[in-house]
Structure 1
Amino acid sequence: MSNTVPKSVFAFFKKLEKNNNRDWFNENKPEFKAIEGEVKLFYNALLERINRHDEIDKLKIFRIYRDVRFSKNKLPYKTHFGGSFHRAKPRLRGGYYLHIQPNNQSFIATGFWQPEKEDLLRIRKEFEMDASEMRDILADKTFNTVWGDTFEGDEVKTAPKGFSKEHEAIGLIKKKQYIFTKKYTDKEVLGADFLDSVDNAFKTIRPFFDYMSDVLTTDLNGVSLID
C-alpha cells in the first residue's frame, strides 16, 4: 500500500482538462492506468487506517467515465478521483468520502448526503425532541476546528411538513442533508502527512457518527430497531 498520493495525478488531470476526448484518453490510457493503480493503493491505505478506529464494510472508488446521458456537460471523463468508505450497516451509520482533484479542489466529506426519507424524519424528530446533544457536538473545539460548527447541505426554506418554523431547533430540523467537508490544497494532498491528516480528521467525526447511529437504530423511546 502507498501512504502518499502520486505527484503525477494532478499533472495527468490537468492535461485531461485540456484534452477531454476519447482519442486523447485512449492514447494516454496506459499512463492513466498506472496512476490509477497508485491512487487505489492510497485509498486502500486509508481504508486500513480507518478500520483501526472504525468498521468499514465497503470501499468504492468511482470510475473515471462520466454518465453523460442526462447531463448538459457531455465531456466523457472526470478530472478527479473519488472514493467512498461505507460503515458497517445497519449498526453503524454514515460514511467517509475522499475527493482528489487538481487546482486546490480536493476535499474530504462525511455525514449523510442523501438520507432515506424514514431516516431524515427520525433525525428531525430527535432534534424536535432534544437537540442539546447535537449542539454540544458541534460546539466542541476539537470537532469544529476540523469540521466547523454548522452543517453543510441543502435545506427547506421554512420548515418541513409537520414541524413548526418557530421551533428553537428549526435550524437543524430544516436540513435535508447533514454533511461536513474539509478542503485541501494540491500541496497538502501531495505532502507526506496527507494520509495522517485525513485519518485524523475522520477520527474527530466519531462523536457525530456515534450520536447519529444511536438515533437511527432506536425509536423515539430509545428502543433498539435492529436487535
Structure 2
Amino acid sequence: MNNHLQEKRKQVRKPTEVRKREIIDVAINIIAFEGARAFTAKNIATAVGMTSGGIFRHFESMEAIVVDAIERVEEILASDFPSGVEDPIKRLRDFFLQRTRTILAHPGISRLLLSDHLEQAAGIETAKRLSKIKIRSRKFIHGCIREAEQQGSLDSVADVEAATSIVIGAILSLSHVSTQVASTSKSHKPSEDVWALIERMLEKGRSS
C-alpha cells in the first residue's frame, strides 16, 4: 500500500518550474490580501499543498520568494504596454483596457500596488522595484496624453496633468470593481464603459 502511494505521488509530482510559479503566485496573494505577517512558509505550503520543507527545495529563502514575486509582477505588468500603435489615444486605450484586464486576472497585483504590504515583507529597497512599475505606468499615460496634445487631437479643455490623474484614478477604481464582477460574463464591460467616457473627454471634435 505504501509503495502504491509513493508511486502515485511520483506520478503527480509537478515540474520544478510549475511548482515555483504556484509558490510565487500564492505568495503574491498572501502578501496582498493577508499582509506581511501571514507571509510564512507554512501558509504558502498549505495553500500550494506541500510541506514547509518542500518550499525550500525550490527557494533558498523567503527573501528569494519575494524577489521572484516582484519579478513575476514586473513580467505581468510589462505586457500591458502596447507598441506599434501610432495614434496616442488608441495606444492609451489599449493600455487602459489591458491593464484593467490584468487587474481582473490578477487581483492580488492591484492590492500590492495600492498597499505597503510588499514593502513590509520585502524591505524598502526591494519594494522600490514596484514603485518603478507605478512610475513607468504614469509616464506612459502622461506621454500618450502629451503626444495627443502636441498633435492637436487633445480637446482644448483637457489639461494633460489632470487627464493623467483621471486615467490613473479610473484604473485604481476599476481594480475594486473588477474583483466584484470577476465571476460574471460582463466582467470587462465596466472598463470599456469608463474608457468610452475618458475618450470623449480627451479627443477633440469627437462626435460619439
TM-score, structure 2 normalization = 0.32
TM-score scaled by length of structure 1: 0.30
Give 1 or 2: higher strand fraction: 1
